[in-house]
Amino acid sequence: MDNGLRNHQDAYGHLLLDYFKKRRGIEVVEREDGLIDPSETLPAYYFTEFEDWVVRERKATRFVKGRVLDIGCGAGRISLYLQKRGFDVQGVDISPLAIRVCKSRGLKKAKLIPITKLNSKLGIFDTLIMFGNNFGLFGNPKRARWLLRRFYRMTTSKARILAESVDPYQTHDPAHLEYHKLNKSRGKLPGQLRLRVRYRKYMTPWFEYLIVSKKEMQSILKGTGWKLTKTTNSKGPAYIAVIQKDRI
């Protein structure tokens, strides 16, 4: 998986490709405790135009500047919108088929690179975008801090990260509360998830995915050269953090 998912693992990519071609598909997320979360609405959202994005995303685009790196670009909705506005945008994803969909839709720069392989060889950026709850791609606090320091070295002096997450504490669902309790007993953050994505006969490997409150995000950022300066919000527990480059 060093250079991306293999075909039988690329559940997300097959979902995007099928939706791109046939306008149908159901994404299924499975958590390690057995929780299954199917979604018929998400595939369509991955292809939405700007006017149909949620409010927090539309607000957050005001903070985009300079050269842009879209981390976990998926079907390319963010990258394509910014490209149309004249930004120099590089999309990256771990899914080969997601990159194929991006290129088919007209994204000029789309590359197969896992988040752990990102470095300054790709270029120096002014804005890093992690919409679609892609702060979760950091996986766990330790890896988040390691990657944030790496991002520090591949960005300009006044760079910013626009990262979406979900406050895990804003729930009354017993299944989620039980999982929070399990995580605490293991010395993990409540929103430190272990998931896999399934679509038809395709299934990703298990992976770590991190959702955090604003307070937890601030704690993770300490000592990395980044600080949370503001957030954009809309209804629900999700938010987008504007993370500004700071001195280490």
Written as six digits, the tokens of 232 are 């954009």
Which residue, 209, 198, 6, 195, is CA-closest to 95? 6
The model's confidence at residue 2, banded by pLDDT at 50, 70 and 90, is low
Q: What is the CA radius of gyration of the chain?
A: 17
User: Quick check: 144 and 136 in contact, CB under 8 A?
Assistant: no
For the chain, where are the alpha helices, taking DSSP H only? 11-22, 42-45, 55-60, 77-84, 96-104, 141-153, 174-185, 214-221
CA–CA separation, 131 and 164 (whole Å) = 5
CA–CA separation, 245 and 248 (whole Å) = 9
With H, G, I as helix, E, B as strand and everything else as coil, classify residue 217: helix
Q: Map out the domains of the chain as residue ranges.
A: 54-194+207-245
**Across residues 127-148, what is the average pLDDT?**
98
Homologous superfamily (CATH) for 54-194+207-245: Vaccinia Virus protein VP39 (3.40.50.150)
pLDDT tens readout for residues 41-88: 889 999 999 999 999 999 999 999 999 999 999 999 999 999 999 999
Written as six digits, the tokens of 20 are 């791109």
pLDDT tens readout for residues 189-230: 999 999 999 999 999 999 999 999 999 999 999 999 999 999
pTM of structure: 0.96
User: Quick check: 12 and 197 in contact, CB under 8 A?
Assistant: yes
DSSP letter (8 states) at residue 206: P
